[in-house]
Amino acid sequence: MSYLQNKWSEYARQANPARRYASQREFEADWVFCLRRRYRVSQEALAAMASVSVTTVQNWENPRSVKAIAEHNQARLRDIERELWIKAHVTLLDPCPPYIKALYDLMGASKDESAQALAEYLVTTMPEKDPGRARLLHWASLAYSIGEPASPRARSLSAAALEALAGNDNRLSAAIENEILGSQFEDLLNLPAGEGRRQQGGNLMRACERLFARDRQPAYLWNALEVACRAPLDAQDVFRLAQTLVDLLGVAPVRHRIRTEASFEAARLVFDDTATRN
């Protein structure tokens, strides 16, 4: 079975898909378009990656095109998707231990099971107090989420990585922390609407709030508010975070940002209430 045929089969087994398609060809066209949109890649850039013409990419994205995507091009799209995922989620921060490089190489070679086995071995054998444990837990979560972003093991490892970073304030820890939060946020946006997305959003929002409590950096509160808006979470969470930002920064800058940035659209009505109370 070709790559997109397998994707189509996975979609067909979903009880409540986020979108319904009239045919496999329509599904494939939307899949290619969503791949570009997710990683902000132009048709010209995707054509160069796949070694095809821009017209070919346009045909791939046209649901009315009668020409199917050739199997060898589907295989290339599979590899491109992995390359883009790794580029978006993974940074080889210096200093880079050999075991991190080994995990990176295995993931890049599509050897996910080997990467997961190595990660599990390292997580089991590395001492709890080892300064590199948070980074290892993060990479272990990546080894799972590259194949299944919403897998319970990926989520538990990612949460454990954030907990292991508590109390560390060096530059490398901060960089790893930001990478973990970025990975969790992107995976959140790729989850379909429903309880799973709300649960993941709640976990991520609370992680951002814990980091704010530790560092008192407003950026973490803004991140928490964006998560609450886009998960979406309960209105009381959105209101509470908006009110905290107002208390911290004042009405004018918070009102301006919420009203001008699309990410905070769900907070606008709540902010009107907040502004009224101030």
Residues 6+ apart with CB under 8 A from 111: none
Q: So what's the pLDDT on residue 169?
A: 65
Whether residue 248 sits in one domain with residue 211: no
Whether residue 164 sits in one domain with residue 131: yes
55 lies in which domain range? Answer: 3-79
Whether residue 201 sits in one domain with residue 144: yes
Where among 79, 109, 133 does a domain terminate? 79
Whether residue 132 sits in one domain with residue 45: no
Q: Contact 271/238 with Cβ under 8 angstroms?
A: no
Q: Contact 60/69 with Cβ under 8 angstroms?
A: yes
b/e 246-256 (16+ beta carbons within 10 angstroms → b) = beeeeeeebbe
Mean pLDDT by 10 residues, the chain (278 residues): 87 81 91 92 96 96 89 93 88 88 93 96 94 90 85 86 74 76 78 83 87 85 94 93 94 92 88 52
Query: How are the residues of the chain apportioned to helix, strand and coil, as percentages rounded to the nearest 5?
Result: 75, 0, 25
Q: So what's the pLDDT on residue 104?
A: 93
Where among 207, 227, 247 does a domain terminate? 227
* Three-class secondary structure of residue 217 per DSSP: coil
Between CA 172 and CA 93 the distance in angstroms is 8
Whether residue 239 sits in one domain with residue 223: no
pTM of this prediction exceeds 0.85: no
Q: So what's the pLDDT on residue 167?
A: 64
- 85 is a domain residue: no
